[in-house]
Amino acid sequence: MMKKVKIAILLSMVLIGGIVLVTLWWNLHARRASEAEENLPKISTGGADMRLEKIRFVEDKHGQKTWELEAKSVQQYQDQNIMVLEDIKVTFYAKEGRTFFLTGKQGKVHQDSKNVDLVGDVVLTSSDGYELKTHSVAYRHLEKIVSTPDPVEIEGEQIRLTGKGMLVNIENKTFKILSQAKTQWKGRGEV
């Protein structure tokens, strides 16, 4: 029973991370449309059509902060229809009072498909003590799937789970470690 609760909590963390990334895409897309309407001049840097430095976005719904995004930079590549974010920090505020922190070195948002890739020291931490670490994650919007082929480490107060590859089906609410899965209860041996 305890194992099912832990897996459900971990699935929720990954789901919320995916939702945060999709919400980020929508808000960045709306901001780009707003700037285009105002005919603001674009500054081309390093092949990008638009580049913003030290950005911070906050979403507020009904007087409640739902998430915050900070990034060292955002670059827009209109010919490829993508945005590239560097040194990303996202804080998500869940309705039940929990807070989730998502960080990564680089993110890529595919604006046409709403797919999101996050690469480099990806860490998702919850305010109740759970932490997921991997090298990369990919969110596929049409399939509602979050995945990685990389090694995954999930740790909480009483459990540590490691393995290679992860697949989360948001629609079916399933979470799988694809291979080499090991679970360790803290203070006990491997299961």
Whether 55 maps to a domain, the answer reads yes
Residue 23 lies in a domain: yes
Condensed to tens digits (0 to 9), the pLDDT of residues 24-74 reads 556 665 665 555 444 433 333 467 677 788 888 787 888 888 778 788 998
Overall number of domains in the chain: 1
Beta-strand relationship, 145-155 and 159-169 = antiparallel
Number of H helices, E strands in the chain: 1, 9
Identify whether 191 is part of a domain: no
Residue 139 placed within a domain: yes
Task: Answer for the pair 167, 185: CB distance below 8 angstroms, yes or no.
Answer: no
150: in domain = yes
Residue 13 sits at φ, ψ, to 5 deg, of -60, -45
Q: For residue 40, how many other CB atoms are within 10 A of its CB?
A: 10
Could you tell me the residue range of the domain that residue 130 belongs to?
A: 2-39+48-185
Residue 190 lies in a domain: no
pLDDT 10s digits, 65-118: 877 878 899 888 888 888 899 998 878 787 778 888 888 999 888 878 878 888
Q: Is residue 175 part of a domain?
A: yes
pLDDT at 39: 40
Distance CA 151, CA 185 (A): 19
Tell me: pLDDT of 17 over 70.
no
Q: What are the tens digits of pLDDT across the range 115-161?
A: 888 899 999 888 888 898 999 988 887 887 888 999 999 998 888 99
Q: What is the CATH number of the domain that holds 66?
A: 2.60.450.10
Residue 28 inside a domain? The answer is: yes
The pLDDT assigned to 140 comes to 83
User: Measured between alpha carbons, how far is 152 from 173 in angstroms, rounded to an integer?
Assistant: 18
